[in-house]
Amino acid sequence: MKEKLVYIRAQSNKVPPLYQRVVRVLGVFMLGALLGFLAKYTDGSVVGLIGTYLGFWIVVTTFIAVRSRSPKAAALHTFVFLFAMLIVYYVYSAVLFGFFPRNYFIAWGSIVLLSPIAGYVVWYAKGNGWRAALCASLPIGLLMVEGYSFIYTFSISRGFDLFSAVLLFCILPANSFQRLRMLPILAVLFFLIERIGFLYYLPG
């Protein structure tokens, strides 16, 4: 199994000192806390509208995952980032507005608990082969489904999602051949996600 994973994307054998790894985790935590605060602070504005929807968090989390040292680090960083964002976002709401939507918090908290799996998988997006193409296509497919309605709604938040899908398509694949591999996968993912209505099951 490990040989197959290495074939997709090999990780560096150099293990940074413990203090460097701790600093990176703390940095990811602080980033999540800051963005969670800004998302709530700008609620109601154009910036806040973008931060309210799933697309922004898919993009940032994808960048964090693929830039991590290893798939295990990606899993940890993804969880820490989203955990910090979730806690700050809802604590801000509770402290300043006296409003704590418990059901939403539990629903999104459940997604945060599953996020290490997504981070682990997406780390391989920068690799080679069909498996890497699938890993890269997963976040892009979600963004495409989120953003395609921009074509007729001209919504700023949906436009951001569509732009983000194009951006990830340009920078995630390791080379042009990987992009070609992704095209049929993206078509199938878009169809399946849209038909199943996966995004409708997520908390609003």
Could you tell me the residue ranges of all domains in the chain? 17-201
Show the tokens assigned to 47: 């910036």
Maximum mean pLDDT: which of 24-38, 86-100, 151-165: 24-38
Residue 8: the pLDDT is: 84
Give the phi and the psi of residue 203 in degrees, each rounded to 5: -65, 140
115-134 mean pLDDT? 95
CA-wise closest residue to 46 among 159, 202, 143, 145? 159
* Cα–Cα distance for residue pair 142/158, rounded to 1 Å: 12
What rounded mean pLDDT belongs to the chain? 88
pTM attached to this predicted model: 0.90
- Inter-residue contact 138 to 185 (CB < 8 Å): no
